[in-house]
Structure 1
């Protein structure tokens, strides 16, 4: 009898230790990936290595000088949780009802989207709006929303654009990586008819699936029980759960056309996620897979094909 009690004490002690380790892992990965801080863990990540051509364009492209020479209006928005968010609006050289609204990627900032915005502004003649997502740039927030709370922020920015430009405003949403998931999540909300279509470049299907994938690929750890614990910590600290932050569920509700673009060699956000999103989209949609392109490289490695796909989509779905 005493031996049995001792055995149960040992088992109980081991279980308590495992639970404490799991809770510690949940807080560790929350701090690592979601809390606003420096993300050194991505340095040297092979999945984020891009071609020399893409790196040169990202770091030294003409778009960098172009965006620094533009006179953006600074817009502010008070988010639902009290954070002050920063946006930037650039009026087209000729009056137009069309505005492209950009959402940048993880750890990026609003000006990164000038890589795409220069074409919209100079060649298409659109107004351009871009914002620092919560937890990024000049926007407040002590956590990264991975698109979920950001979707509500973007509904607010859309309302502001219509308020400023009038009821005839036509809006395109264009996002990359986390920004692509953001605009897809936004598309699943009840939006005004002014929002005409979405361009989603390299999106993930859900934060839960992305974290499962990265936990295995980067840390060689099982999803259970760590992912559920990260979800609970995120809910406690940031107010959302990893499973509810789903672009996949949102595109099932979307009522506007969506153009999906993804690199065929993307190993950071697997190409299969865009294919899954495309297959579950209930509205009109198209998909461009750029062979050989890694994460976010498509606009550089096949700029002609990228722009042609955009223009064909716009010709079909914009008035």
Structure 2
């Protein structure tokens, strides 16, 4: 029994020492690296942001958010007599609401109404004081998508079946998180969507050697260490910017049993296709992932051309206009005011 007591005591002391050592190590990581991560996290990528010209026949509106802002939106009516459904479009970071046309042209021609809007602090939408949007999804962008859904519910020509959502890059991520909370969104399509932590960690693992005194040692650290450091950085950044960075990784698993289509550029140097694949694997069925060869970030619509338009139209015909299980699922004749 004496030897057993000694072994148990030694094991206990070893556990305490290792716990203390790990705590000191994470404190050192926080003090040395979290500030660097926060600074890099706020750097804005350099890429071409598409912008469109105003569409004269669009119905321009302003609609409220729960925190008192008014956002600018435009409702595009299909020229078809029978409406197949309504699709809410989420723009990419820095773009205006008119950029939707290059993505949604065939949807309009085939019978879908499109509602597009500008996130807060962008275009004609009102600004939240002391908030500077980044390319990362925060609770503010999610609230803006939910505000757009509430507006569509309030319209006299509301589609009682619900709506579809189609978003690009940050707009796609915000839509996934909003759809996890809002069952009125019946299906979701995204192009270039990405999660925050899942994107930060590979960059941290890649560039740690530029800032580390012991670069080789950091290469053997398990992934969860980097995840914890990234979460520390987000916690500090959230306090500084007075916002939250919701988890797209958790939200995407809540889309099912509604349908999900993810489109991603096969030559995307910002968000690698394998990261999109990892995010896609978190979603439940039914789901589709289309990697467009040779397309860079948000360039799949230019590279794939007509095939892109047809793929999007087929998705919403199948999952928004199709599946007619009740009388509400029939195409609607909508009276234009």
TM-score (norm 2): 0.70
1:118-171 CA distances to partner (integer Å, 9 max, x unpaired)? 2222x2232121111123223323232733422232122112112212353542
For 1:267 and 1:299, locate their aligned partners in 2 and report how far apart those are by CA, in whole Å: 16
**1:185-200 alignment to 2 at 5 Å?**
185-192=177-184, 195-200=185-190
Match of 1:111 in 2: 98
1:248 and 2:246 matched: no
Distance apart, 1:279 and its partner CA: 1.5
Match of 1:210 in 2: 199
SS of the equivalent of 2:250 reads helix
Distance apart, 1:252 and its partner CA: 0.7
Match of 1:290 in 2: 292
**1:77-156 alignment to 2 at 5 Å?**
77-95=63-81, 96=83, 98-121=85-108, 123-139=109-125, 140-141=127-128, 142-144=131-133, 146-149=136-139, 150-156=141-147
Q: 2:152 aligns with which of 158, 161, 164?
A: 161
The 1:257–1:224 alpha-carbon spacing in structure 2 relative to 1, beyond 3 Å, is closer
The structure that has the greater radius of gyration is 2
Equivalent residues of 1:92, 1:125 under 8 A apart? yes
For 2:144 and 2:79, locate their aligned partners in 1 and report how far apart those are by CA, in whole Å: 27
1:259-288 CA distances to partner (integer Å, 9 max, x unpaired)? 111111111111122212222211311111
Match of 1:52 in 2: none
1:77-114 CA distances to partner (integer Å, 9 max, x unpaired)? 33233333222222233452522211111222222222
For 2:314 and 2:170, locate their aligned partners in 1 and report how far apart those are by CA, in whole Å: 24
SS of the equivalent of 2:278 reads helix
Q: 1:72 aligns with which of 36, 54, 58?
A: 58
Equivalent residues of 1:134, 1:143 under 8 A apart? no
SS of the equivalent of 1:128 reads strand
For 2:198 and 2:174, locate their aligned partners in 1 and report how far apart those are by CA, in whole Å: 15
The 1:211–1:91 alpha-carbon spacing in structure 2 relative to 1, beyond 3 Å, is same
Structure 1's unaligned 5+ residue stretches are 1-15, 34-38, 50-54
CA RMSD of aligned residues (A): 3.2
SS of the equivalent of 1:196 reads strand
SS of the equivalent of 2:174 reads helix
For 1:301 and 1:70, locate their aligned partners in 2 and report how far apart those are by CA, in whole Å: 28
SS of the equivalent of 1:312 reads helix
SS of the equivalent of 1:87 reads strand
Count of residues in Structure 1 that have an aligned counterpart in Structure 2: 274
For 1:134 and 1:217, locate their aligned partners in 2 and report how far apart those are by CA, in whole Å: 33
For 2:30 and 2:248, locate their aligned partners in 1 and report how far apart those are by CA, in whole Å: 31
SS of the equivalent of 2:74 reads strand
Equivalent residues of 1:171, 1:197 under 8 A apart? yes
Equivalent residues of 2:75, 2:113 under 8 A apart? yes
For 1:254 and 1:17, locate their aligned partners in 2 and report how far apart those are by CA, in whole Å: 39
Q: Which moved more, 1:73-82 or 1:216-225?
A: 216-225
Q: Which moved more, 1:87-96 or 1:283-292?
A: 87-96
Structure 2's unaligned 5+ residue stretches are 1-26, 213-225, 323-337
SS of the equivalent of 2:281 reads helix
1:235 and 2:238 matched: yes
Match of 1:270 in 2: 272
TM-score (norm 1): 0.73
